[in-house]
Each structure stands twice: as structure tokens, then as C-alpha cells.
Structure 1
Amino acid sequence: MVQRSFALALVAVAVLAAPTAASAATGASSASAASAASGSRNFSFRGMNLKLPSGWKAHRDGDRIVVVTGTCANPEPFAPNCQSFWVFGPKAFTNLPVGGGSLTYTGKWQFHPFSGVVPCPFNAKTSWYPGEKPSSTGLRQVGRGHKALYTAWPNRCVTNNGARQTMRFTQREWFLPASKILIVDVWNTPELSGVLKRATWS
């Protein structure tokens, strides 16, 4: 169903870090206590530090990260019925096999795991059909001094025989080429843009 000549495997690196232990300073202790009380978690990856809202949980599988934001039976990238977004490092978008050659992600093409049929994110009984042209592009702030190439791609879910479209959705991508980070969201996660905008860097 997916008629793409490119393929993108999934691999990323991340560290889910607990809030930094409080120092002897009272101010540091207060900040740590406030973080614990709010239930937020600190997520660090290749120098990018995100404060995840309460209820979000990062799952690491080798070099790929799935940040679950709601109901999810199987926390895997591109797994159906898993409310989440994904964070990938350079191994996910460089030197990938494509028709006997290789492809490096640049944002020109939508990030997709392979050229075969992929289940729709919202219904495993239908197929995911990526769009050919982005609906929106530009730069988006990801913390102070860092801007990502942002691309929104229109997608469709269709019956497996291709006879009927069941729904439309948008795949959002934030790509930081210097930091070698790619963030992908197909669930239109409401708080994600704000979380990325408030990122800190170390």
C-alpha cells in the first residue's frame, strides 16, 4: 500500500533520568521537592533535557525511545493503538538501506520505517498511507538557542485492499541536524510543542 522508494529503520539513544539529587543547598532541595510533588520527570537525550508531564513515561529499547502519553499496550515505534511520540538518534536516519542503496533523513521525505504496508496508528486492521507532500514546514524552537526543522505530513488510513479511506491524520516531525535528534508524533500530542519549546540543553 505504501508506495515509497525509501526506507527508514528505527533506532535512537536516550536516558530517562530521575530528578537530580538535591545538593546541600536549601534551594536545590526545594526545587527537587517541587518536581517530585508535580510528578514530572526529566528526560535527557544527546544534551536535550525535557520535563515530561505527569503520566508520561519513556520506554527505551536499545537506541530508540517511545514516550507513552496515554493508553498503550505495546510501546514500540509505529505500533498501532499506542498513544506516544518517538525520539530517535542518528542511527535511525543515516546509512539506511533503500533499494540496495542508503538514505539519510533530511526532512525532505517523511520519516517512515519501511516501504511495505504498515498498520494505521489508530486501527491495526487498516493500513497507513503516507502523504507525498508536507502541509507545513518551518523552524520551531526547542529550548534556548536551538531550532528544529519542523515538518507536518498529511497521512491516511485506508482499508487493506485500498478501497476505502477510514481517516486522516498528521505526522509531525522536529529534526535537529546539529544535535542529531529526530522527534516524531502521529497522535497530535497537545502538550508536546510546549514541552519541546521549554527544553534545556547541557
Structure 2
Amino acid sequence: MLAQMIMLVAVAGAAVLAAQAPASASSSLVPPSSLSAATTAPLRLRGGLTLDLPSSWRVYGGGDQIRVVTGACARPRGHYFEPNCRSFWVMGTQAIKTGGEGFQPYNPNQGPFYPAVDVAPCATDPALGQVLGKAVTAGYRAVGVGHKARYLVWPGRCVRGNGAQQSTFSQREWYLPKERILIVDQWNTPGLATVLKNATWS
């Protein structure tokens, strides 16, 4: 099963993400005029969405696959299933097209964001596989003024090859279908919900 997981990671990495580089200060991160650069920096996204991120968070990638690293991270330029990287993802149209299980289009009514065909490694331990259950929370949450995202929380289990559970996590998703933006967080990132609630649109 471990061999299958390793193969899956390679396939998912190729299908979900191209090689990433940190976002440059001139493109995605520009110090806001009303706040100190040491406090926050705006991340400008598709559809006119801007997120004011804490300055300690780092942005990698661009376009339809952006990883925001919020803490310790072994390989910030890694693919979606890269373990040991405290972060969340902002996905766009292309990632959403293959974001469902089996690389089907992502559909929050059918399941979580899970671009895989087999058991993917757990975010906290690559020796364990992740298994996502049925959504335990489903509703809508504000992303800035006048925009509501479909909000879902999927319970996750980190299991050994024999199915024995070692730990749990939650996969939180905010989906804006009109703008084709999906935010995915497996780390229960402190402050992320507030960042999204305080987002601005232009």
C-alpha cells in the first residue's frame, strides 16, 4: 500500500501542481498602504478578491494553485499532498476541474477536494494514509462583504495500511462557485476564517 501511496503522490503532484516558486513582492504580495508591512500583506486573487495575510505567512505558486505556508514546512514548493507543511491552498479553475476523487471535477455536493485515485498520505505523517468521511458541517460563510462561500468540514482520519487509526484532522473548504475559487485547509489554520471574513473585493 505504501508503494501505491508513493505512486499516487507522484501522479497527483504532476496532475495538480506544476513546480512552484515563491510569489514575488511585485505580483501577489504588496505592502498595504494603510497598514505597516510588518503587520499584513495583501494577496490579490482572481475575481478581484484580496486577502490581507499576516506577514509571517508565505505564498508559493500562482494562478490556479497557490499555497500559503503558515508555519513549519519541509517542502513549500511540493504538490497538494505534500506532508509536514502547515499551509492552506487557494485553488482556481484548472485545479477545480480535476479536484474530485479520481480527478473528476470538484463538486462539494459529491465529496471533498481530493485529487487522487487511491489513499493519499496524511498531512501530518507520510507513513499514514488519509481517509475523509462525510461532511459534518455544511453551510455558507462570508468571504468579504457581499460574497458567501459554500463552507464544508470533512472529518479526516490518518490510518495505517491495516486501517488502524492513528490520528484525526478536519478538511475545511470555502468554495465560491461564481468566482471559481476554492480554499482548502487541513491544518485548522488559526486566523484563516477571520482573514476570509475580512477579505475585500474590487
TM-score (norm 1): 0.80
Give the corresponding residue for 1:51. 52
Q: Distance in 2 between matches of 1:73 and 1:96?
A: 24
Spell out, residue by residue over 1:52-102, the C-alpha distance to the aligned partner (whole angstroms, 9 max, x if none).
Answer: 012101101663111000000112322101000000001112267976xx7
Q: Which has the larger radius of gyration?
A: 1
Give the corresponding residue for 2:16. 10
Unaligned runs of 5+ in 1: 3-7, 21-27
1:12-161 alignment, distance < 5 Å: 16-19=28-31, 31=34, 34-38=35-39, 40-46=40-46, 47-60=48-61, 63-75=64-76, 76=78, 77-94=80-97, 103-108=104-109, 109-131=111-133, 133-161=134-162
Contact in 1 for aligned 2:154/2:170 (Cα 8 Å): yes
Contact in 2 for aligned 1:11/1:63 (Cα 8 Å): no
Contact in 2 for aligned 1:11/1:88 (Cα 8 Å): no
SS at match of 2:150: strand
Contact in 1 for aligned 2:149/2:175 (Cα 8 Å): yes
Spell out, residue by residue over 1:140-172, the C-alpha distance to the aligned partner (whole angstroms, 9 max, x if none).
Answer: 00000100000000010001232x110111100
Give the corresponding residue for 2:179. 179
Instruction: Considering fraction of residues, name the structure with more helix.
Output: 2
Return the offset for 1:119: 0.8
Q: Distance in 1 between matches of 2:28 and 2:180?
A: 18
- The letter of the residue matching 2:191 is E
Give the corresponding residue for 2:9. none
Instruction: Considering fraction of residues, name the structure with more strand.
Output: 1
Tell me: CA distance 1:146–1:116, structure 2 relative to 1, closer, same or farther (3 Å).
same
Does residue 1:200 correspond to 2:200, yes or no? yes
Contact in 2 for aligned 1:11/1:62 (Cα 8 Å): no
Contact in 1 for aligned 2:64/2:90 (Cα 8 Å): no
Report the identity percentage. 47
Q: Distance in 2 between matches of 1:175 and 1:88?
A: 9
- The letter of the residue matching 1:44 is R
Q: Distance in 2 between matches of 1:120 and 1:178?
A: 30
Unaligned runs of 5+ in 2: 5-11
Q: Distance in 2 between matches of 1:195 and 1:150?
A: 15
Q: Distance in 1 between matches of 2:201 and 2:180?
A: 14
What is the Cα-based RMSD across aligned positions, in Å? 2.6
